[in-house]
Chains A and B, each alone.
Chain A
């Protein structure tokens, strides 16, 4: 089994706060991997460090066997990224954004134009292709971002919360494209809170909590017969009691303070 992503003791701190506490993230090549964890678990920080957007304080990250920080040319040609926050070049139209992105990576203009046209069709963005990105909705932004990340045919795709704020129709389009992408042997790693979605799509799961990886492996092994949601709550520590101790003031029949 070759590994698409392998980190060794990847570590990041912000002042006294340790965001990522030396993780060994492993993702086998060709898998559809989910990185799950509660808010603040360090998912975004980890993905940023692995994709070379944030400098780690310690540890290494390898993609297809190339060190992210020592061999950036090889790594950047192999990865596609959709970070959180969805900031794109707002004053370009969707089509112009794809053209810029592809040509910046040295693909010839004719090739980029053809690929962009097909991606816009598949993503159902053909009508909005000549509108400025600044006027796109959240779902459209995620789709154009994914299109930009796929344009150079990467072997590993990193997506940070790709389904957050996306309507069901767009989400379906996104999953279709991603399924087709992994079926050809490429790797997808995405972070998410939505356990149902991870359970439905992924064959490999890494669970993060408070900067550590608390479980990692094929979906079936992590689940151990439970639903992924239950397994997740067991792993990261869900509510111990059912909230009986506090919140007595909450609910109908009490005066608003």
Chain B
């Protein structure tokens, strides 16, 4: 019991310590807090309102919700937002803790937090909504706790297992592919819903008939059942939790002693100097050269690029399945691809992170920072342009509207420019650290999840707002306006970059501090 109290306290201290003295972090945390309170309250209400629905429908819904919750716990901590500030087990490896105490402690630390609490509240809502009779309530309470434990343990198991696999540099390069699967999975419900599989009630029954046999589904079913079958199911779930926990501890102790053997590195090729043939010698050429190398060599950049493209492709598929095709299709696809690629620059300095000081001591003026941003955008455009042409061509041909290809490329370039312009401003106004250890797939340093979210949403809103002058005429079929799009994009990039450089240079030290957080 003392272990539980100790680790819970430790985790709370870490959370509080993370917030100390930094307004942006406090705001980010407040945002997370508001979001989680919202989710808990709405979730609890909706779940408890299930009591009004017919019992079998309610049971099916809870089965599906519990399963989704489990899947969410497996995927979301991997995905983004730094939801999980749990202790790093490596820091505890030197303490004389027996394995079971370490396990209890780590579990407590995982359970202490905003999101675990929200999960527990929503799960309890199901108890209110579903359980009947004394047996139902008793079993229900156990089921809620088991479901909660299952979510946490599975989540930790997944991250730990992947972290040991991805600790090597080679492993982190494989991560590029893994992250794309995660993005694909996240798009799956969207695809299924657009697939017109039949009426919702039928779908719900079908889904719950299958999901009922997953651990989460059994917990939900036990809650609805309340009898001996339910008890047997709970025993099974408890077994699953214990086994998952055991596997987690195994993975943990392996991860702690497996060395990183990735430093036996080969040399890189000398540069060919291709950039220098097109650009005048100077800072701009230096930045473009460096950025192109970073896009190629830095796993975080690769992940960004691959996922932007995958999102664009997935979007394309889901749109074509639900609507009539037309010449607008390649335009929409290419424009969104351009936007997704450009949105990566919403936090341009994040990947430089703590090495940004090197730019800071060399950059003496606004102009210097503006050149830096221009170099980054140019490098991005060098890779993005052929990709956009490819996407436009493929989409145009597949949709049977080759006349849409040219406007698509032009709009795509426009979207790219607008994205770069907006990104220049968000990069300096809401900068955040991108952790260099991608083993938990988090998108931001602990405590900076809110900033990452605001930055992403802000960039998205900014791009959408600035795109309106083109979106509206395109919607009415006036495709000729796309001729103007690249120029509009260029203007947006230019103005955004000037503004970004002006703001950014004035707050360079703050920018430096924001992207240099410990991760």
Which A positions have Cβ atoms within 8 angstroms of B? 14-15, 51-55, 72-77, 79, 81, 83, 85, 87-93, 95-96, 99-101, 103-106, 108-109, 130-132, 134-135, 148
Check if B268 sits within 8 Å of A52, measured CB to CB: no
CB pairs A–B below 8 angstroms (24 shown): A53-B509, A54-B512, A54-B513, A72-B365, A73-B365, A76-B362, A77-B364, A81-B361, A85-B354, A88-B355, A89-B355, A89-B358, A90-B436, A96-B289, A100-B287, A100-B289, A100-B290, A104-B363, A105-B362, A106-B282, A108-B281, A109-B281, A130-B269, A130-B270
* Chain B residues near A95 (CB-CB < 8 A): 270
Known: A53-B361, A90-B355. A104 touches B283 (CB 8 A): yes
CB–CB B267/A130 < 8 A: yes
B358 & A88 in contact (Cβ 8 Å cutoff): yes
Within 8 A of A (CB), among B432-479: 436
Contact B263 A104 (CB under 8 A): no
Least Cβ distance of A144 to chain B in Å? Answer: 11
* Segment from B193-201, B292-300, B403-411 that makes contact with A: B292-300
Cβ contact within 8 Å between A131 and B169:
no
Q: Is B93 an interface residue (CB 8 A)?
A: no
Does B265 belong to the interface (CB within 8 Å)?
yes
Contact of B287 among A53, A90, A104, A130 (CB under 8 A): A104
Taking a contact as CB atoms closer than 8 A, the residue among A14, A93, A106 that contacts B267 in the complex is: A93
- Is the beta-carbon distance between A53 and B281 smaller than 8 angstroms? no
Q: Which residues of A contact B298 (CB under 8 A)?
A: 91
Question: How far apart are A190's CB and chain B's nearest CB, in angstroms?
Answer: 16
Contact of A72 among B268, B270, B364, B516 (CB under 8 A): B364
- The number of chain B residues touching the other chain, given as a range, is 35 or more
Q: Give the residues in chain B near A51, CB-CB below 8 Å.
A: 361
Q: Is residue B20 contacting chain A, with contact meaning CB distance below 8 A?
A: yes
Q: Decide yes or no whether B244 CB sits under 8 A from chain A.
A: no
Give residues in B with beta carbon < 8 Å to A: 20-21, 169, 263, 265-271, 276, 281-283, 285-287, 289-290, 293-294, 297-298, 352-355, 357-365, 436, 508-510, 512-513, 516
Interface-centre pick from B361, B365, B436 (highest chain A CB count, 10 A): B361
Q: Which of B21, B268, B508, B510 has the most CB of A within 10 A?
A: B268
CB neighbours (8 Å) of A54 from chain B are 509, 512-513
| Docked pose: A52 CA to B358 CA in angstroms | 12
Chain A residues near B266: list those with CB within 8 A. 131
Q: Is the CB of A99 within 8 A of B286?
A: yes
Known: A85-B354, A104-B287. A76 touches B293 (CB 8 A): no
Task: Write the nearest CB–CB distance from B385 to chain A, whole angstroms.
Answer: 23
Q: Tell me, in angstroms, the Cα distance from A89 to B414 when the chains sit together.
A: 31
Q: How far apart are the CA atoms of A54 and B270 in the complex, in Å?
A: 35
Which of A55, A87, A93 is B509 in contact with, Cβ under 8 Å? A55
Closest chain-B Cβ to A82's Cβ sits at a distance in Å of 10
Q: State whether A53 and B360 are in contact (beta carbons under 8 Å apart), knowing that A15-B21, A104-B283 are contacts in the complex.
A: yes
- The one of A81, A93, A100 in contact with B357, judged by C-beta atoms closer than 8 angstroms, is A81
A91 to B290, CA, bound (A): 9
User: Which of A15, A95, A135 has the most C-beta atoms of chain B within 10 angstroms of its own C-beta?
Assistant: A135
Given contacts A54-B509, A87-B355, A132-B265, contact A76 B361 (CB under 8 A): yes
**Nearest chain B CB to A149 CB, angstrom units:** 8
Do the beta carbons of A92 and B265 come within 8 Å of each other?
no
Q: A132 touches which one: B297, B353, B359, B362 (CB < 8 A)?
A: B297
Report the minimum CB–CB distance from A172 to chain B (whole Å): 24
Identify which of B21, B265, B290 contacts A89 (C-beta below 8 A). B290
A109 CA to B277 CA in the complex, in Å?
A: 12
By beta carbon, the residue of chain B nearest A135 is: B265
| Contact in complex: B268, A93 (CB < 8 Å) | yes
Point out the residues of chain B lying under 8 angstroms from A109, CB to CB. 276, 281, 285
Alpha-carbon gap, A116 to B473, bound state (A): 54
A-B pairs, top 6 by smallest CB distance, nearest first, are: A103-B286, A87-B354, A73-B364, A130-B267, A135-B265, A76-B364
A229 to B30, CA, bound (A): 49
Give the nearest-CB partner of B21 in chain A: A15
Asked if B297 and A52 sit within 8 Å, CB to CB, the answer is: no
With known contacts A54-B509, A55-B509, A103-B286, A15–B20 Cβ distance under 8 A: yes
Residues of A within 8 A of B268 (CB): 93, 96, 130-132
Query: With the chains together, A51 CA to B357 CA distance in Å?
Result: 10
B299 to chain A, nearest CB (A): 9
CA distance A87 to B515 in the complex (A): 12
Report the separation of the CA atoms of residues A54 and B21 in the bound assembly, to the nearest whole angstrom: 16
CB distance from A237 to the nearest CB of B (A): 28
The answer, among B267, B357, B364, for a CB contact under 8 Å with A53, is: B357
- Residue contact B509 to A52, C-beta cutoff 8 Å: yes
Nearest CB of B to A228, in Å = 30
Contacts A76-B361, A103-B283 given; 18 further ones with Cβ under 8 A?
A53-B512, A55-B509, A72-B364, A74-B364, A76-B362, A87-B354, A87-B516, A91-B294, A91-B297, A100-B287, A103-B282, A103-B285, A103-B286, A104-B286, A106-B283, A130-B270, A134-B169, A135-B263
